[in-house]
Amino acid sequence: MKSGDRVDLGQGHEMEFVSAPNLHWPDTIFSYDRKTQTLFTCDAFGMHYCSDSTFDDDLEAIEADFRFYYDCLMGPNARSLLNAMKKMGELGNIKVIANGHGPLLYHNLEILRECYQNWSQKQAKAETVVGVFCASDYGYSDRLAAAIAQGVQKTGVAVEIMDVNTADSQEIQELAHRAAGIIIGMPPSANITAQAAISSLLGVVKDKQSIGLFESYGSDEEPIDSLRTKFIDLGVKEAFPPVRIKETPSAATYQLLEEAGTDMGQLLVRERNIKQIKSLDVNMEKALGRISNGLYIITTKKGDINGAMLASWVSQASLQPLGLTVAVAKDRAIDSLMQEGDRFVLNVLEEGNYQELKKHFLKRLHPGADRFAGVNTQTAKNDCPILTDALAYMECEVVSSIECSDHWILYCTVSEGKVSKPNSLTAVRHRKVGNYY
């Protein structure tokens, strides 16, 4: 079915279809029943909320979940959502939105539609966009694309996912032309439509753009090296090494893709962030820099995935139970391992004996690289790594979080701890300015 197609189901129920790609699947399509004036929207306008109410009787009860669902699943494709909502306006009166998750929208329909419109317009104004191009029905392409998009979005960069099987060349070139970064999931070599789409990308890329490629774990995908060479020859910057997938994707694979997306996002916003740093009042940034903090390394493990980061924004927060807070930047790869219920170890660095550990954990690594290679560790009771050379360690669990602009403030309880050198002091970091690390 295509936009505008209709099917007569009898007894006045004529269904009209509206193509709404990327919400939140590349092949999403809305269906409108003219007799009941009901629009079936799949995932769009949904929420993970369950109650005894069939309809949206209580706006206050659902609005937080409605917004959270939008931010996670709809916001990353705000432009696609605006296009879909424009098509919705051409259908005529809509009395009910029958979404796939949560109560049907009826009592507060206009309010919630307006929310989607306003949020999407704000999101679509993001000055930096990454276009992700993949063949949605090939291999694990759609899931891998979603993981890499999540990594990009951590940095505040917008993402648009486009299915090269269904998008026409004009749509592909339009997105590629305005995107600061282009990510391609390798399509099957036998798919003529997909190959033509990739060729159209090569025709519009600019040397100021960034590129990233990943395999989709299909049976006959296009070789990644030949396409990479073509882009490099055009002067395009490579944001991350090609991600090669030789086995069924695991949690570690999706983490690798997320880290790759974060690398691209950080590359694209680096210049913007430098401008923001320079725009602050000099005296204020120096004053803020006089707040001193200890030096710590957070280490964590979830399943087969591990992570670590150097931290200094750590403070004790409660006595009963013993608890602390730690600030984690939203664009850190470790963010996905520091959700509510996750466990980690807070390693305290020793004054006069921390430079090697600090240097090691500040290094930028390729996505998927072993963060603990060459470092002495032992396993804590919560299964996370303890740095053997640290002054002390504490085993922690994330209890709750507060969103603070570009960081999350995590409140964590402490269950175990030990000091290895009782007479040593915690390493302290003194900054000169307070507007960057």
In this structure, the number of other CB atoms found within 10 A of the CB of residue 79 comes to 18
The pairing of beta strand 38-40 with beta strand 96-98: parallel
- Is residue 405 a contact partner of residue 395, using CB atoms and an 8 Å limit? no
Greater confidence (17 vs 277) lies with 17
pLDDT in tens, 49-78: 999 999 999 999 999 999 999 988 888 778
Q: Mean pLDDT lowest for which of 43-47, 221-225, 255-259?
A: 221-225
Provide the CB-side half-sphere exposure for 158 (13 A, CA). Answer: 21
Q: Name the 3-class secondary structure at 117.
A: helix
DSSP category for residue 148: H
Q: Rounded to whole angstroms, how far apart are CA atoms 286 and 139?
A: 52
Distance in angstroms (rounded) separating the CA atoms of residues 236 and 16: 43
The whole-angstrom separation of Cα 23 and Cα 25 is 5
Residue 279's pLDDT is 61
Structure token digits, residue 48: 């993970």
Task: Please give the average per-residue pLDDT across 250-260, as a whole number.
Answer: 91
**pLDDT in the model for residue 424:** 94
Structural domains of the chain in order of their starting residue, each with its CATH number: 6-124 (3.60.15.10), 129-276 (3.40.50.360), 287-429 (2.30.110.10)
Phi, psi for 73 (deg, rounded to 5) = -115, -30
The answer to whether 387 touches 357, Cβ cutoff 8 Å, is yes
Measured in residues, the chain has a length of 437
Kindly provide the residue ranges of all beta strands, DSSP E only, lying in 275-349, ordered along the sequence: 293-294, 296-302, 305-311, 314-318, 323-329, 343-348
Residue 100 tokens read as: 């796939």
Which of 120-129, 185-194, 282-291, 348-357 has the lowest average pLDDT?
A: 120-129
pLDDT at 280 over 70: no
What pairs with residue 133 in β-bridges? 162, 184
